[in-house]
Structure 1
Amino acid sequence: MYICICKSVTDHQIRKAVFEDRVSSMRELRRCLGACDQCGKCATDAHAILRSSISERTEMEQACMEAAA
């Protein structure tokens, strides 16, 4: 689903940036994808996806660390 219409950024792209590019803030998201830097109407939704993706990434990393121990 498109989150930032101005820059054509999707929720999938945001999740991918969190997992693959290690994006962990709105500032990094803007720098990486250009999202939320024009009209700003998408910022709330983009931030929610960013937060949930970071939580998922953290949980996965913890599970991997526990499995390796």
Structure 2
Amino acid sequence: MYVCLCKGITERQLKAAIAEGNADFMDLKRELGAGSQCGKCIPVALAILAEETAKNAVFYEVA
């Protein structure tokens, strides 16, 4: 699915960039250009970022 039509950025590209360590939206903007033109993709990109970050979070058990 295309997330950013202006830059032709797909959901797969966003997820790959997040997996490579781009941990906040400004990293994604710098890396891929997401949200740098019309801005309509920002809410979807932020949702994907939150979802992927939650998946990759490490939880520690408190004793």
TM-score (norm 2): 0.87
Length, aligned pairs only: 60
- Superposed CA RMSD in Å reads 1.5
- Partner of residue 4, structure 2: 4
Identity %: 39
Segments of structure 1 that go 5 or more residues without pairing to the other structure are 64-69
TM-score (norm 1): 0.80
Question: Which ranges of 4 or more aligned residues in structure 1 deviate by more than 6 Å?
Answer: none
Segments of structure 2 that go 5 or more residues without pairing to the other structure are none
Greater helix content: 1
Q: Could you report, residue by residue, the CA deviation over 1:15-41 in whole angstroms, capped at 9, with x for unpaired residues?
A: 101112x01111000001111110001
